[in-house]
């Protein structure tokens, strides 16, 4: 049983036996323990309990509820709690910054970070790191430079998390020199900082420098992790270095790191785009994602079209359609594949399915307003 479920069981049993009258810290602890469970498994019940027991005005409880709703991808609920909170502290403002940043809502995260400062609260490493990550996602140089000055003024230059996000921010806007300066000021960088600088060079098409940094990383006794290899394989993909990609793939397996989807996506893209379609197909079939997602098969399919490889292309298209039988574009593509090899019965069946799907599709409706008249058209 997961820790969150254990915490909930103890809480429910104590309530049933009437041996526990929860205070705000008890409720906050249970909410925090169950926050990582999927789909608000216990969250809404706990929120209702908070209201029934009169602790909805507790800042401590409010902070954990906001965090829970962000973790479960319900920012609207988190926003509502924040809006109606009678008391707000720096932790609540930080939860909003971190929450929106983690969801990729950079503009909102930056807005709350600026409001946090205007309210006179002192930022911490969490809010600063999240703001830097948001500035990087938005490729915003001027706010990024402002945040850099705050890092210096607030003496966070030695904080690994802050520095990692700072150099990543400069890397995303293409300023590798600034990323380099920040990195080499860190006396003892951890694996996350190394990953940031390796990724900076990899994502800017500087594969050899990324490889050199890996060697230096190993020489300093820092072991690469799964994220490191994503950057290395991405660098190989950008530069079409298939031999290096195979080397790092084997190195990853040798180091006991289990490949995840991003590793397979990098390798599949590289092998496909240079025409090694059979090898890419074999890699996908042996991956744990072969029967879980169509994305790898779509990558392969697009290259099969480019290289006019019918044998592999037909198989890839069939796998894509197995995941999404209503994908008209792939149905048409597969129909053309079969037509090129004279499989006319299959061509007729696929074209029939395509026509049915096109007929079932609801037409789009466009409204155009000009002066005082409005016209509409179907598409």
pLDDT digits (tens, 9 = 90+) for 349-377: 878 877 877 765 544 545 454 444 444 44
Query: How many percent of the chain have pLDDT more than 90?
Result: 59
pLDDT at 51 over 60: yes
pLDDT grade for 200, boundaries at 50, 70 and 90? very high
**Which tokens is 85 given?**
């909170």
User: How far apart, in Å, are the Cα atoms of 296 and each of 25, 238, 299?
Assistant: 46, 17, 5
pLDDT at 280 over 50: yes
pLDDT at 118 over 50: yes
pLDDT at 270 over 80: yes
Count CB atoms within 10 A of the CB of residue 87. Answer: 10
Buried b (16+ CB within 10 A) or exposed e, 278-307: ebbbebbeebebeeeebbbbbbbbbbbeeb
Q: What is the pLDDT of residue 84?
A: 93
pLDDT grade for 287, boundaries at 50, 70 and 90? very high
Average pLDDT for 174-195: 91
Q: What is the pLDDT of residue 365?
A: 44
Q: What is the pLDDT of residue 69?
A: 95
Average pLDDT for 234-241: 97
Helix axes 295-307, 310-323, angle to 10 degrees: 150
Q: What is the pLDDT of residue 38?
A: 72
pLDDT grade for 378, boundaries at 50, 70 and 90? very low
Q: What is the pLDDT of residue 374?
A: 41
Q: Distance (Å, rounded) from C-alpha 349 to C-alpha 353?
A: 6
DSSP annotation string for 117-148: HHTTPPP-HHHHHHHHHHHHHTT-HHHHHHHH
pTM above 0.75, yes or no: yes
Average pLDDT for 304-331: 86
Per-residue pLDDT reduced to its tens digit, 60-70: 999 999 999 99
| C-alpha closest to that of 72 among 99, 47, 94 | 99
pLDDT grade for 1, boundaries at 50, 70 and 90? very low
Query: How many percent of the chain have pLDDT more than 70?
Result: 91
Residue located via tokens 């954990």: 64
pLDDT at 305 over 90: no
pLDDT at 273 over 60: yes
Average pLDDT for 299-311: 89
Helix (H, G, I), strand (E, B) or coil at 72: coil
Q: What is the pLDDT of residue 173?
A: 85
| C-alpha closest to that of 237 among 196, 268, 283, 200 | 268
* Mean pLDDT, all residues of the chain: 88
């Amino acid at each position: 049983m997961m820790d969150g479920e254990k915490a909930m069981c103890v809480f429910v049993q104590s309530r049933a036996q009437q041996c526990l009258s929860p205070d705000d810290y008890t409720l906050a602890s249970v909410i925090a323990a169950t926050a990582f469970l999927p789909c608000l498994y216990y969250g809404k019940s706990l929120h209702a309990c908070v209201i029934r027991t009169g602790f909805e005005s507790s800042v401590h409880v409010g902070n954990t509820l906001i965090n829970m709703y962000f973790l479960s991808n319900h920012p609207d609920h988190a926003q509502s709690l924040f809006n109606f909170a009678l008391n707000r502290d720096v932790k609540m403002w930080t939860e909003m910054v971190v929450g929106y940043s983690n969801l990729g809502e950079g503009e909102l995260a930056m807005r709350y970070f600026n409001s946090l400062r205007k309210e006179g609260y002192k930022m911490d490493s969490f809010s600063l790191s999240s703001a830097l990550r948001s500035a990087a996602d938005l490729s915003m140089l001027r706010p990024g430079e402002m945040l850099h000055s705050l890092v210096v003024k607030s003496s966070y230059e030695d904080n690994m998390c802050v520095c990692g996000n700072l150099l990543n921010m400069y890397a995303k806007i293409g300023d590798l020199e600034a990323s380099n300066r920040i990195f080499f000021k860190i006396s003892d960088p951890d694996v996350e900082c190394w990953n940031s600088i390796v990724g900076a060079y990899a994502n800017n098409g500087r594969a050899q420098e990324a490889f050199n940094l890996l060697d230096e990383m190993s020489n300093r006794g820092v072991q690469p992790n799964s994220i490191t290899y994503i950057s290395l394989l991405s660098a190989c993909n950008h530069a079409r270095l298939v031999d290096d990609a195979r080397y790092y793939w084997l190195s990853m397996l040798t180091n006991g790191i289990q490949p995840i989807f991003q590793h397979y996506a990098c390798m599949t893209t590289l092998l496909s785009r240079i025409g090694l379609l059979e090898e890419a197909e074999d890699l996908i079939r042996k991956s744990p994602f072969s029967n879980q997602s169509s994305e790898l098969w779509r990558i392969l399919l697009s290259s099969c079209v480019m290289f006019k490889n019918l044998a592999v292309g037909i198989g890839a298209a069939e796998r894509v359609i197995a995941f999404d039988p209503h994908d008209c574009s792939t149905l048409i593509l597969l129909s053309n594949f079969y037509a090129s090899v004279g499989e006319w019965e299959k061509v007729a069946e696929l074209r029939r399915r395509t026509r049915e799907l096109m007929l079932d599709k609801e037409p789009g409706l466009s409204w155009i307003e000009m002066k005082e008249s409005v016209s509409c058209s179907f598409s």
